[in-house]
């Protein structure tokens, strides 16, 4: 369907539904083709229709309205630590699994599988974000699990499966599994080096070195996952990484006691918890004492997911605002045709396009070992997570405001989207942590930043403003470390905007790329969306953003 349905007799806007999330998004479709994933186009068309269908929208709504419930004990007093979900949650989990979000890039040998995966996650996040948490963590755990060959041999087919198995039973009897992670503790948060959870050797078994784990986790994501990768200390060796299943190999429940579910601002369909380990059984993954580098491999991939998901939030915010303003009239014309609204929507369209190109362009680099792609991953993964997640919070707020009072009610689409937006900025490291990780990447691999800036400089050859910005970024790299750390956010913002501008020059229309460069490097841009879209014809940008 199109987003224009004519004037409702009461000037009320019908729900945006039964549309194709993929074919209506020219930027996403172009990114898929440009990233070499045209082989997945037919499947993405199918997924786009599924995501925009009314039945899927209702399932997403119900999964968030009927929140998970914790049951710590059975009727007879047995400790069960089960979280009960509404059937709609399992509907959304099944869609995510079927669409490859749990495993595609690690079981399809084509490098462009990362692009195909990114498109699916980007669409799913627009409709229901909570189910992406356990699904993307499952995908991200795969390269880490391969570090324990015996364990991976048992679990490989269950990780590769595209069927959702909701049963709470021992691993061996599952057709597919979901895997979460447990890193942070109450005393440290992002400072995982202060973790106190301990692991005591318990012998060796068919899956490797076994340990009994005692301690707690302040945020234990998706506690009903079939297993978790957990950080714990092993004597003098320091932090190590363990796979801790819900059920022990002997068929008994592993003593992972769920203390409570977090009452979160958003992401309410997904259960997040605090847990206590009471000599929980686990098996070592990776080298003892190398837990942080081992599990960070998982976090790097999920940071890409945050950038993709937040780009999806921005696209959905823009789509909802455009649909509403096309169908709502005031002062004799549609809201979309009011000059100040047109300017705002054009700026939102540019922001969404830049975020999508950044996230999908970054995804295309994950399938390559080329030095330039490695440099992009190291430098731009934390930078893209920082930027897209921050901008999503702003854009979802603007979209809510475009609805007026109709946006600030729970039966409208914007409330849930607005509450979802901040979680990606916090999950897998807050904004400050991301900016510091950008600086660490610069310090540890100084050639990387120059590789990236050289490539961007070649693209920007005909744009004096962009060339000047790139030169300023180079200058900041030379600052003393203590001065650069204080400006970590400024440095990251300048790097990201330069990268986005170059991606626009490469992949967007001449009109859109010119508008992006003109607006984003205007001194007045940034404080408020819609100050200026950098073009004399903002309506053209709005019309081009929806097919």
Reading the block at residue 201, the tokens are 């050797």
Q: How many residues make up the chain in this entry?
A: 547
Please list the residues that pair with 445 across neighbouring strands.
none
Separation of alpha carbons 400 and 392, rounded Å: 12
Separation of alpha carbons 380 and 361, rounded Å: 10
- Per-residue pLDDT, 193: 76
Is pTM, for the whole model, over 0.85? yes
Separation of alpha carbons 522 and 532, rounded Å: 9
Please name which of 17, 12, 477, 61 lies closest in space to residue 2, comparing C-alpha atoms: 17
Question: Residue with structure tokens 């592993």?
Answer: 254
**401-434 per-position pLDDT tens digit:** 999 999 999 988 999 999 999 999 998 889 999 9
Separation of alpha carbons 32 and 115, rounded Å: 6
pLDDT of 307 strictly over 80 = yes
Q: Show me where the domains of the chain are located.
A: 179-290, 431-537
In sequence order, what are the residues at sequence separation of 6 or more whose Cβ sits closer than 8 angstroms to the Cβ of residue 78?
A: none
- More confidently predicted of 1 and 282: 282
**491-519 per-position pLDDT tens digit:** 999 999 999 999 999 999 999 999 999 99
CATH, domain 179-290, list 2.40.10.220, 2.40.50.420, 2.40.110.20, 2.60.40.10? 2.40.110.20
Ramachandran region of residue 279, left (φ > 0), alpha (ψ -120 to 50) or beta? left
Please name which of 271, 291, 177, 284 lies closest in space to residue 227, comparing C-alpha atoms: 177
- Per-residue pLDDT, 546: 87
Element (H, E) at 378: helix 371-402
The number of beta carbons lying within 10 Å of the beta carbon of residue 89 is 27
Separation of alpha carbons 30 and 341, rounded Å: 26
In sequence order, what are the residues at sequence separation of 6 or more whose Cβ sits closer than 8 angstroms to the Cβ of residue 533?
A: 343, 346, 347, 349, 350, 515, 519, 541
**129-163 per-position pLDDT tens digit:** 999 999 999 999 999 999 999 999 999 999 999 99
Name the phi and psi angles at 392, rounded to 5.
-65, -35
Cβ–Cβ < 8 Å for 201, 210? yes
- Per-residue pLDDT, 2: 44
Averaged pLDDT, 284-298? 92
pLDDT of 547 strictly over 90 = no
Per-residue DSSP letters for 409-424? STTSSHHHHHHHHHHH
116-120, 217-221, 474-478, range with the lowest pLDDT? 217-221
Cβ–Cβ < 8 Å for 301, 225? no
- Per-residue pLDDT, 63: 98
Element (H, E) at 476: helix 464-477
Please list the residues that pair with 329 across neighbouring strands.
334
Cβ–Cβ < 8 Å for 206, 172? no
Map residue 77 onto helix, strand or coil.
Answer: coil
| pLDDT > 90 in the chain, percent | 87
- Per-residue pLDDT, 237: 84
Please name which of 259, 235, 240, 239 lies closest in space to residue 194, comparing C-alpha atoms: 239
Separation of alpha carbons 401 and 542, rounded Å: 18
Reading the block at residue 293, the tokens are 């580098």
- Per-residue pLDDT, 1: 41
Displacement of CA 40 from its chain's centroid (Å) = 21
- Per-residue pLDDT, 500: 98
**27-37 per-position pLDDT tens digit:** 999 999 999 99
Reading the block at residue 10, the tokens are 């009461």
Averaged pLDDT, 229-251? 93
Separation of alpha carbons 368 and 162, rounded Å: 25
Separation of alpha carbons 400 and 415, rounded Å: 7
Per-residue DSSP letters for 284-325? EESSTT-HHHHHHHHHHHHHHHHHHHHHHHHHHHHHHHHHHH
9-18, 354-363, 366-375, range with the lowest pLDDT? 9-18
Angle between helices 446-459 and 371-402 (to 10 degrees): 70
Map residue 105 onto helix, strand or coil.
Answer: helix
Please name which of 184, 440, 179 lies closest in space to residue 292, comparing C-alpha atoms: 184
């Amino acid at each position: 369907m199109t987003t224009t349905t004519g004037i409702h007799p009461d000037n009320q806007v019908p729900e945006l539904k039964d549309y194709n999330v993929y074919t209506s998004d020219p930027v996403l479709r172009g990114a898929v083709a440009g990233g070499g994933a045209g082989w997945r186009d037919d499947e993405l068309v199918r997924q786009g229709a599924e995501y925009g269908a009314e039945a899927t929208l209702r399932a997403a709504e119900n999964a968030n309205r009927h929140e998970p419930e914790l049951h710590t004990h059975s009727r007879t007093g047995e400790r069960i630590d089960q979280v009960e979900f509404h059937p709609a949650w399992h509907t959304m989990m099944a869609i995510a699994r079927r669409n490859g979000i749990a495993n595609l890039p690690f079981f399809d040998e084509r490098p462009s599988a990362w692009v195909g995966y990114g498109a699916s996650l980007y669409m799913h996040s627009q409709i229901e974000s909570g189910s992406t948490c356990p699904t993307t963590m499952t995908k991200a755990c795969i390269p880490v699990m391969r570090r324990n060959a015996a364990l991976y041999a048992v679990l490989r087919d269950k990780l590769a499966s595209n069927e959702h198995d909701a049963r709470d039973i021992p691993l061996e009897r599952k057709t597919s599994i979901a895997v979460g992670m447990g890193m942070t503790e109450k005393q440290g948060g992002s400072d995982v080096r202060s973790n106190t959870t301990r692991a005591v050797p318990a012998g060796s078994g068919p899956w490797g070195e076994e340990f009994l784990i005692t301690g707690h986790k302040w945020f234990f994501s998706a506690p009903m996952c079939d297993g978790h990768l957990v950080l714990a200390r092993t004597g003098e060796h320091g932090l190590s990484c363990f796979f801790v299943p819900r059920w022990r190999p002997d068929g008994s429940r592993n003593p992972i006691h769920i203390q409570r579910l977090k009452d979160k601002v958003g992401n309410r369909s997904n259960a997040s918890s605090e847990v206590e380990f009471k000599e929980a059984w686990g098996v070592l993954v990776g080298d003892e004492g190398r837990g942080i580098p081992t599990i960070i491999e998982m976090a790097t991939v999920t940071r890409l997911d945050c950038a993709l998901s937040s780009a999806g939030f921005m696209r959905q915010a823009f789509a909802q605002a455009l649909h509403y303003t096309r169908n709502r009239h005031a002062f004799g014309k549609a809201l979309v045709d009011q000059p100040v609204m047109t300017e705002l929507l054009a700026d939102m369209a540019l922001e969404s396009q830049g975020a999508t190109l950044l996230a999908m362009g970054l995804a295309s680099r994950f399938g390559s070992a080329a030095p330039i792609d490695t440099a992009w991953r190291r430098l731009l993964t934390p930078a893209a997570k920082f930027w897209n997640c921050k901008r999503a919070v702003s854009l979802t707020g603007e979209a809510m405001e475009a609805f007026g009072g109709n946006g600030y009610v729970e039966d409208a689409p914007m409330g849930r989207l607005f509450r979802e937006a901040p979680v990606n900025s916090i999950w897998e490291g807050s904004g400050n942590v991301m900016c510091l990780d950008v600086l660490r990447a610069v310090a540890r691999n100084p050639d990387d930043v120059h590789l990236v800036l050289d490539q961007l400089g070649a693209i920007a050859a005909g744009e004096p403003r962009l060339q000047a910005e790139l030169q300023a970024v180079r200058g900041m790299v030379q600052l003393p470390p203590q001065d650069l750390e204080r400006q970590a956010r400024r440095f990251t913002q300048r790097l990201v905007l330069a990268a986005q501008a170059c991606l626009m020059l490469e992949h967007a229309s001449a009109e859109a790329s010119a508008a992006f460069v003109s607006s984003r490097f205007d001194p007045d841009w940034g404080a408020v969306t819609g100050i200026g879209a950098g073009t004399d014809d903002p309506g053209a940008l709005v019309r081009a953003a929806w097919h």
